[in-house]
Amino acid sequence: ETEIQHADVIGVADDVEHDVAPPPVVAVVGRPNVGKSTLVNRILGRREAVVEDVPGVTRDRVAYDAAWGGRRFTVLDTGGWEPNAEGLAAAVADQARLAVDAADVVLFVVDATVGATDTDEAVADVLRRSKKPVVLTANKVDDSRAESDATLLWSLGLGEPLTVSALHGRGSGDLLDAVLHALPEEAPPETFGVAGGPRRIALLGRPNVGKSSLLNKLAGENRVVVDSVAGTTRDPVDELIELGGQTWKFVDTAGIRRRARENQGADFYATLRTQSALDRSEVAVVLVDASEPLAEQDLRIISMVIESGRSLVLAFNKWDLVDEERRHFLDREIDRQLHHARWAPRVNISARTGRHVEKLVPGIETALAGWGERVPTARLNSFMSDLIAAKPHPVRGGKQPRVMFATQAGVQPPRFVLFTTGFLEEGYRRFIERRLREEFGFDGTPIEISMKIRE
Residue numbers in the known binding site for GTP are: 30-37, 77-81, 139-142, 205-212, 252-256, 317-320
Note whether 210 binds ligand GDP by CB under 6 A: yes
Ranges within 12-31 binding ligand GDP (CB under 6 A): 30
By CB under 6 A, residue 175 contacts ligand GDP: no
CB of 432 to ligand GDP, least distance (A): 28
For ligand GDP, which is the closer residue by CB, 12 or 150?
150
Q: Between 163 and 450, whose beta carbon lies closer to ligand GDP? A: 163
- The answer to whether 139 contacts ligand GDP (rule: CB under 6 A) is yes
Which of 210, 410 has the CB closer to ligand GDP? Answer: 210
Query: Which residue of 5, 117, 213, 275 would you call a contact of ligand GDP, by CB under 6 A?
Result: 213
Our CB check for ligand GDP shows the closer of 315 and 432 to be 315
Of the residues 35, 133, 255, 401, which one makes contact with ligand GDP according to CB under 6 A: 35
3-state secondary structure string, the chain?
Answer: CEEEEECCCCCCCCCCCCCCCCCCEEEEECCCCCCHHHHHHHHHCHHHHHHHCCCCCCCCCCEEEEEECCEEEEEEEHHHCCCCCCCHHHHHHHHHHHHHHHCCEEEEEEECCCCCCHHHHHHHHHHHHCCCCEEEEEECCCCHHHHHHHHHHHHHCCCCCEECCCCCCCCHHHHHHHHHHHCCCCCCCCCCCCCCCCEEEEEECCCCCCHHHHHHHHHHCCCEEEEECCCCCCCCEEEEEEECCEEEEECCHHHHHHHHHCCCCCHHHHHHHHHHHHHCCCEEEEEEECCCCCCHHHHHHHHHHHHHCCEEEEEEECHHHCCHHHHHHHHHHHHHHCHHHCCCCEEECCCCCCCCHHHHHHHHHHHHHHHCCCCCHHHHHHHHHHHHHHCCCCCECCECCCEEEEEEEECCCCEEEEEECCCCCHHHHHHHHHHHHHHHCCCCCCCEEEEEEEC
For residue 1, the minimal CB distance to ligand GDP (Å) is 29
Measured torsion, CA atoms of residues 401, 406, 408, 414, in degrees rounded to the nearest 10: 30
Q: Of 43-51, 315-323, 433-441, 445-453, which segment contacts ligand GDP by CB under 6 A?
A: 315-323
Q: Does 95 bind ligand GDP (CB under 6 A)?
A: no
Smallest gap, in angstroms, from Cβ of residue 212 to ligand GDP? 4
Count of residues that interact with ligand GDP, criterion CB under 6 A: 32
Report the residue number, 9 or 321, with the smaller CB distance to ligand GDP: 321
Beta bridge partners of 264: none
Q: Which of 163, 317, 377, 421 binds ligand GDP (CB under 6 A)?
A: 317
Q: Does 393 bind ligand GDP (CB under 6 A)?
A: no
- Answer for which of 351, 375, 380, 449 binds ligand GDP (CB under 6 A) is 351
Residue 49 lies near ligand GDP (rule: CB under 6 A): no
In the complex, minimum distance from the CB of residue 111 to ligand GDP, in angstroms, rounded to a whole number: 8
Should residue 308 be labelled a site residue for ligand GDP when binding is judged by CB under 6 A?
Answer: no
169 binds ligand GDP (CB under 6 A): no
Options 114, 167, 182, 224; binder of ligand GDP; rule CB under 6 A: 167
Q: What angle in degrees, to the nearest 10, is found between the helix axes of 267-279 and 253-261?
A: 160
Under rule CB under 6 A, residue 5 binds ligand GDP: no
- Tell me which of 6, 97, 140, 454 binds ligand GDP, using CB under 6 A: 140
Closest distance of CB 30 from ligand GDP, Å: 6
Q: CA 139 → CA 48, 163, 250, 337, distances in Å?
A: 22, 6, 58, 59
Binding site for ligand GDP (CB under 6 A): 30, 32-38, 79, 139-140, 142, 165-167, 205, 207-213, 256, 260, 317-318, 320-321, 350-352
